Structure 1
Amino acid sequence: MTALRQLEFPDAAPLELVSVGDWWRFAVSCLVRSDAEFGQSSADAGQDALFLVLGALDLPLDSFDQMHGFALTNSERKHVFNALRKRVLDRVPTAYVLGFAEQMGLRFLVDERVLIPRSYIGELLAGGLHDCINDPASIASVLDLCTGSGCLAILAANAFPDADVTAVDISADALDVARENVALHGLDDVVSLHQGDLFAPLGKARFDLIISNPPYVTAESMAMLPQEFRHEPELALAAGDDGNDILRRMLQEAKAHLTPDGILLVDMGHNRDLVEAAFPRLPFMWLATESGDAGVFMLHARDLP
């Protein structure tokens, strides 16, 4: 039982909470007292509360400074209250409560069929991959493996507007969500979606750039996942004892699907040490972002076995 349950979360929206700022403060307090976990599109209680309150009110997520003093209507208060109740008592991640997440300023529809977007590859794509690619116009084809919601495929289509983008996922449910997102962003003619296990549905196709945020959670970490993370599909998280089960297969097959000057870009989260231990002969280049040292590595096609 959480601390918040012991304190008896109110049965109705407190009347003394009037403004957007009031609700943000209350949400922060609730998240902290309930020992909520973060890391699924928000880093801490303050960010999560902003996302929840502004998102529930259909306000831009960067509008708090302008909106914090505005009063909520009765129906808005009830809506924010119900969203917060679901977040702190049922431990549902905010993105699932709201039905969307934002990455690099773009909105993506999400639910429990897909991982909540949070890969650092998104930030690298928004920056044009300057550390990896001298001429973005040279990228004519991009593959997003384990696409989930389709967010990285869509960000890649924006980063390389002249490229054809292919996205693959083993989950038909995930591809249903990706299809909605591709349509939402008007990219049906640019992003093609395929169901299958890694490269299996692609034949002999080759790509200038392959990106992936594959499952990489170790068995030990899976056993200790906080409740919020258990709402995400296990298929998108679990990757064996050392977190490299999917990566091993990807590295074995990737060279056959890259052009001679092609690049492989993979987000392995906090598993850098595990990756380097498993593949000591590969010359991984680990890329940093403005948000910090990301767990994203780059390999050239010529470096792959």
Structure 2
Amino acid sequence: MPNTVTTFEAAVDAAEHHLINGHLFYGHGMADAYDEAVYAAAYCADLNIIEDDIDWDAPYPQAAQQKLNELIKKRYETRKPMAYLTGEAFLHGFKFYVDERVIVPRSFIGELILDELSPWVKPDAVTDILELCTGSGCLAIMAAKVFENAHIDAIDIDEDALAVATKNITDYQLNQRIDLIQSDLYTSLSADKQYDIIITNPPYVNSTSMSELPKEYLAEPHIALAGGDDGMDLVRLIVNQAAQHLKPNGILVVEIGNEYQHAEKAFSHLPLTWLDTSGSEQAVFLLTQKDLTNIK
């Protein structure tokens, strides 16, 4: 990349050009090379991509340009998600610390939380939330911010992931509202513990898709992606054991990505309600406690 770029806009244009030529894959919070170039240029200039207005005609600092050159070079040489290279990721306006111990935050459940899971719950009446497979803790944090009367239990089997979640929860000063629990799904919960809401974005990628993942996804923890032959191994466990951990009017919200057909087949005996999100109408399903009592 050239060493001298005069404006922020020119820095973005040059970065986008090199990213495109790198034949990279985008799916970790950035839609395409342009979005990633804007973020990278802002990051290297110490700008907050959420809070700071960008002056496209402003001179782009030489030190930032050098940093940007190195960042873009590392991106196309390693094929790692940009979030791992900068140590930060954004989800629906929230910023989180990330590293290779967790998958990069991306979830349609986040936007449903921001909509208060309407019309399925009364926000002020929600006092207990469980998140399974919390990873970086991003959804638990968002839930705590939206449901102000709720306490959240956030579970993950992976000690390394919980270390990342601990940092994020501390950064958001939510240690008194979110308890992190190392557990294999519900195993460490008391049998009588019940919740208004259970949310989960578990490993759900089927084995065929796992074998075809781009390098960017292969940089993420395998344990956080692989869901078995049909992607439903953990989802079955989550659904089949959810009823006893839900209050009578409680709901279970599960994200399954592109595994709609596998989910429909796995849970053909249940009335899955598919929730409309910005990217898909077949990526997140909901079941009520009453629905779940019909499991045979």
TM-score (norm 2): 0.95
**How many residues matched?**
292
Give how far 1:58 is off. 2.5
Check the 8 A contact 1:51/1:94 in 2, yes or no: no
* 2:275 aligned partner, one-letter code: L
Q: Structure 1 residue runs of 4+, over 6 Å off?
A: none
- Alignment of structure 1 residues 135-214 onto 2, 5 Å: 135-204=122-191, 205-214=193-202
Deviations 1:73-124 (A, max 9, x none): 2221111111111111111111111101111211100000001111000111
Counterpart in 2 of 1:251? 239
In 1, Cα distance between the equivalents of 2:52 and 2:36?
Answer: 13
Task: From the superposition, tell whether residues 180 and 65 of structure 1 become closer, same or farther in structure 2 (CA, over 3 Å).
Answer: closer
- Partner-residue secondary structure (3-state), 1:54: helix
SS, match of residue 46 in structure 1? helix
Q: Distance in 1 between matches of 2:209 and 2:37?
A: 26
C-alpha distance after superposition, 1:175-225 (max 9, x if no partner): 000000000001010000000110111122111100000000111111111
Unaligned runs of 5+ in 1: 1-9
Cα shift at 1:292? 4.3
Aligned residue in 2 for 1:7: none
Matching residue's letter, 1:173 = D
Aligned ranges 1:57-72 → 2 under 5 Å: 57-62=45-50, 66-72=54-60
CA distance in 1, matches of 2:21, 2:14: 11
Describe the SS at the equivalent of 1:288. Answer: coil
Q: Structure 1 residue 52 and structure 2 residue 7: aligned?
A: no
C-alpha separation in 2, matches of 1:26 and 1:294: 37
For the residues of structure 2 that align with 1:141 and 1:30, how far apart are their CA atoms? 47
> 1:107-152 CA deviation, whole Å, 9 max, x = no partner?
100000001111000111111111322x111111000100000000
CA distance in 2, matches of 1:174, 1:117: 12
* Distance across 2 between alignment mates of 1:17 and 1:220: 44
Indicate yes or no: 2:103 matched with 1:115: yes
SS in 2 for 1:88: helix
The superposition leaves residues 229-251 of structure 1 with CA deviations (integer Å, 9 ceiling, x where unpaired) of 11110000001110000101111
* 1:35-86 residue CA offsets vs partner (Å, 9 max, x unmatched): 1101111111111222222123221214786322222222211111111111
Q: Structure 2: give runs of 5+ residues left out of the alignment.
A: none
Q: Secondary structure at the match of 1:59?
A: coil
Percent identity over paired residues: 38
Write the distance in 2 (CA, Å) between the matches of 1:292 and 1:221: 18
Equivalent residues in 2 for 1:1-305 (5 A)? 10=1, 14-62=2-50, 66-133=54-121, 135-204=122-191, 205-293=193-281, 295-304=283-292, 305=295
TM-score by length of structure 1 reads 0.92
Equivalents in 2 of 1:17, 1:89: separation in Å? 22
Matching residue of 1:6: none
Cα distance in 1 for residues equivalent to 2:253 and 2:177: 20
